[in-house]
Amino acid sequence: MRRLIGLMSGLFLIFGIAGSAQAEDGTMNAISFQPISGNAKIQVQPLDNSDANLALQTKFEDALRQRGYTISPDAKLILTFETRDEIGAWSSTDRRHVLSLEAKGGREGGENAKAIVNFYNSQSGGVFNKGSGGTSITTPSEYRIDATVEDRTTGKRLWQGWSVAKLGAWDGRTLTEKMIPVIVKGVGKTVRREPFDIR
């Protein structure tokens, strides 16, 4: 009974640590140079007018409206944004194999022939085990949004923010869309390495 309780406690601890590690999917940073009114008029404009960024522009506008801002094409303030991604790295290990054939010598290479049956291999697997071969991610892909708010009449930058998140279980477009409310929430504020999770 004590062993069972100890095992259960260990499992809860492991899953608790894993859960807390997965909760932080990204970080947000921002610098406020001048205050921005919470009900200000803002125009949103992507630095790259690709179809994907035009769709993100709509998401930015919706998120800003939800925070109390007014979206206007002739607004004094303009929020510009760009997105970037950094593809991660991965490594692959040997696939499972059960039988290896080797031949040396002679014209056809058959004088010294041998066959090796692979019963067990912890890495590549064998007859009695599957092994841990396959592809493993060594560096996850990251996506980043950079945004700035400027006063178009003076050309001065009022605010600058950026968020970075790991790809995880999301595709790039979905992840980027889910990062937008995080950026918008920080508009007008100074934020230092604030963690956030993607839901």
Query: Could you state, in order of their start, the residue ranges of all structural domains in the chain?
Result: 25-88+140-196, 91-135
Provide the residue type at 87 as one letter.
I
So what's the pLDDT on residue 104?
A: 56
Taking the mean position of all CA atoms in its chain, how far away is CA 54? 21
The domain 25-88+140-196 is placed in CATH, from the list 3.40.30.10, 3.40.50.2000, 3.30.565.10, 3.30.160.670, at: 3.30.160.670
Q: Which 3 state secondary structure label does DSSP give 33?
A: coil
How, if at all, do strands 26-32 and 157-166 pair?
antiparallel
Phi-psi region of 147 (alpha: psi -120 to 50; beta: other; left: phi over 0): beta
- Which strands sit side by side in the sheet containing 142-151, from one edge to the other? 70-71, 41-46, 77-86, 142-151, 157-166, 26-32, 191-196
So what's the pLDDT on residue 134?
A: 55
- Residues 10-16: contacts with CB under 8 Å, at least 24 apart: none
So what's the pLDDT on residue 41?
A: 96
So what's the pLDDT on residue 87?
A: 61
> For the chain, which ranges sit under pLDDT 50?
1-23, 88-90, 137
So what's the pLDDT on residue 83?
A: 93
So what's the pLDDT on residue 32?
A: 97
So what's the pLDDT on residue 1?
A: 47
Q: What is the 3-state secondary structure (H, E, C) of 99-112?
A: EEEEEECCCCCCCE
pLDDT tens profile 38-78: 899 999 999 998 999 999 999 999 999 999 999 999 999 99
So what's the pLDDT on residue 182?
A: 94
So what's the pLDDT on residue 173?
A: 84
